[in-house]
Structure formats: C-alpha cells, structure tokens
Amino acid sequence: MTTIPSVLLLSGANLNLLGDREPSVYGTATLADHVASATATAESHGLSLRHVQSNSEGDLIDAIHSARGVAAAIVINPGAFTHSSWAIHDALAAFDGVVVELHLSNPDSREPWRRTSVVAPVATGSISGFGGHGYVLAIDAVAAELS
C-alpha cells in the first residue's frame, strides 16, 4: 500500500479574520476559501492537506511538532509571528521536510518592521504578494520539491 504524502497548512495570528480584515491589503476571500483552493491543488498533485489556524504561538509550535515524521511539507503563513517568533523559527528548524513561507501581501513593500522574517532562514522558499493565488503557488512548489 502506498501512503499519500501530506502537507500541513498553518495559518497564524489574525488570519481567521480574512475576508473582513483590511480587505484592501488582504482581499475579500476568506481563510476557508484559501484552504479550499490549497486542498484542491494538493489533491491535483496526489497530496493530502491538513489545515490548522491559531492565534496562539504555542498552538502553532505544537502543530509543527505534530508534523515531524508525519508530514512531507509545511506551508505556513505565520501572520505577524513572521516578524517576531524565534520559537516558530526553532520549531521549523526541527522539521525535516519542505517548508514554504507564504504571505498574501508583500511584506517587503510595507512598513519597515515587516521586512524582517525570522521564518525565512528556515524555509525552503517563500511566496509573497500574489494574494490568494499564493496558496496555489505554494502547493505547486511543494509538489515540485517532492517530485
């Protein structure tokens, strides 16, 4: 029996408010919309996808730990934890698989404090600035890395 490689999609702080939160920056699609397109893209590549959203750093770290030895890849939009969480950095460093950092907006084109990502040094690669299409691009990138 062959096992289907799985992807953990992680959504951090405030992303539960997508669709309602600053639509001029993040668009009008909801997080459920983005998860649906990521799931459909994963299935088209023969991958399964599990999604976890939390506003708590510890929950995200626990989810990363739970992916160790289980998931082939993590796609993570940490929200503002991107710019501050060395604990998420360390958890991702202990994950032995593909890591894609994902942002709807392009943080480099925004306020100066968003230009530092503490996640980027432990990511395989990053996708930013393509809005909801980034979820499709991130899963495509995972599939290419795994093939």
Catalytic residues: 26, 103
Tokens of 109: 């084109």
Output 16 or 48, the one with its CB closest to ligand DQA: 16
Binding piece for ligand DQA, criterion CB under 6 A, among 62-70, 87-95, 99-107, 136-144: 99-107
The footprint of ligand DQA on residues 6-35 (CB under 6 A) is 14
Q: Give CA–CA dist 138/145, Å, rounded.
A: 11
Alpha helices in the chain (DSSP H): 23-26, 31-44, 57-67, 86-93, 133-146
Q: Give the 3-state secondary structure of residue 132.
A: coil
What is the pattern of x (binds ligand DQA, CB under 6 A) and - over residues 32-71? ----------------------------------------
The footprint of ligand DQA on residues 74-93 (CB under 6 A) is 77, 79-80, 82
R_g over Cα of the chain: 14
Output 39 or 128, the one with its CB closest to ligand DQA: 128
Tokens of 19: 């669709």
